[in-house]
Amino acid sequence: MERNILVAVDGSVFSFNALHYLGQLFTGLEEIKVHLLYVLPSPPQPIGSEWVEEGDRLLSLSPALRALLAGAKRFMEEATLQLGRQGMAEGQVSSSVQLARVGVAADIVAEAKKGFYDALLIGRRGVGAIEEMIGGSVSSSAADHCYELPLWVVDGRVNARKFLLPVDTSFNSLKAADHLGFILEGNPYAEVCLLHLSALIGGNTPPDWTSLHAMWGKEWCSQHLGGEEGIFHGPEQILLDHGFSPSRLCRLPGGHCLTPEHSICRQAVLAECGTIVLGRRCPYKKQGLLYGVSDKVLDIASQMAIWVVG
């Protein structure tokens, strides 16, 4: 099954880190399609200019903005070549450069929502800097408004082939497992480590049986989510249903903790996992201590990739 990834780039080393991650993860997999999107910040446009064609806007650019546009196009050529050197065929990669109409982050999120994409990938500029994810200072709206689409944030140059999947029997956790299984279909390199933590504060979301039954059916839930093994068995079965090899699955020793976010990041480092995959609450649902676990992990994780699945 074809998978389509939107990659927001800005010509920086952080974008090259994201491209390296992408190429390593999908080496030799023909079912992957990647679209590189470079949104250039531009001066505020007059009211009514939103109807102006992109070509007409380009004719009125200043020399400085024209130079930035030319640089963006050169970066796209190099980005395509880099992915090609990592085993992605030319036909798998497309790209576009555009001037921001509303704002860089807002335009990226708009493209992510209107396109037929399975994830949005962003290279991050540093720990705790969601507002600086793309091309300078961009507000956290890219993270705050991307609930419909899984968001992948890459911090540094990381190992893309080993994943940490924190698990429980909540709907959000199983959705994260389902997204991971879908993305890794046919991937012969990936490994997944499952982790369950009993947290005193946060992270212990009870099963939402109505949502679980609607998604997977009562029979499947009864078979795979019941008993003491259900915490691990359900997510494992989802991965197996996607064709993932059981030999590439393992369970990490969990335990008790005060709050789960630091323990999750520490376990990822100890297990040499480059990516943490987390489910995410819907924005309208109440969150403990102001933020959910995925938001906190996204904020503190360093030198790794975080996938948040809404």
Q: What six digits make up the tokens of 32?
A: 């992957």
Residue 113: both structure tokens together: 């929502």
Residue 34 contacts residue 83 (beta carbons within 8 Å) = yes
The answer to whether residue 307 scores a pLDDT higher than 80 is yes
CATH of 162-309, one of 3.40.50.1220, 3.20.20.70, 3.40.50.620, 3.40.50.300: 3.40.50.620
Q: Which helix (H) or strand (E) holds 112?
A: helix 104-114
Q: How does pLDDT run across 82-113, given as a tens digit for each residue?
A: 999 988 988 899 999 988 888 888 889 889 88
Q: Is the pLDDT of residue 162 over 90?
A: yes
Kindly list the domain boundaries of the chain, sorted by start residue. Answer: 3-154, 162-309
Averaged pLDDT, 35-55: 68
- For the 3-154 domain, the top CATH level (class) is alpha beta
Cβ proximity of 298 and 143 under 8 Å: yes
Q: Do domains 3-154 and 162-309 have the same CATH topology?
A: yes
Task: Assess contact for 278 and 297: CB atoms under 8 A.
Answer: yes
* pLDDT band at residue 50 using 50, 70 and 90 as cut-offs: low
Residue predicted with more confidence, 209 or 272: 272
Q: What is the per-residue pLDDT across 227-250, written as a single tens digit (0 to 9) for each?
A: 778 789 999 999 999 999 999 999
9, with CB counted inside 10 A (0-12, 13-18, 19+), is buried
Structure tokens at 274: 């480059």
> With contact defined as beta carbons under 8 Å apart, do 194 and 252 qualify?
yes
pLDDT of res. 127: 46
- In Å, what is the CA distance from 110 to each residue of 34, 42, 165? 17, 17, 28
Cα separation values, 246 from 102, 188, 239, 251, Å: 46, 12, 9, 11
Task: Using alpha carbons, select from 204, 191, 127 the residue that is nearest to residue 159.
Answer: 191
What's the pLDDT band for 141 if we cut at 50, 70, 90?
Answer: low
Q: Which of 183, 6, 2 is closest to 111 using CA atoms?
A: 6
Please report which confidence band the pLDDT of residue 293 belongs to, taking 50, 70 and 90 as the band edges: confident
Burial of 127 (C-beta count, 10 Å sphere; 0-12/13-18/19+): middle
What per-residue confidence (pLDDT) applies to 304? 94
Identify which has the larger pLDDT, 52 or 210: 210
Strand, helix or coil for residue 42: coil
Q: CA-to-CA distance for 198 and 17, rounded, in angstroms?
A: 34
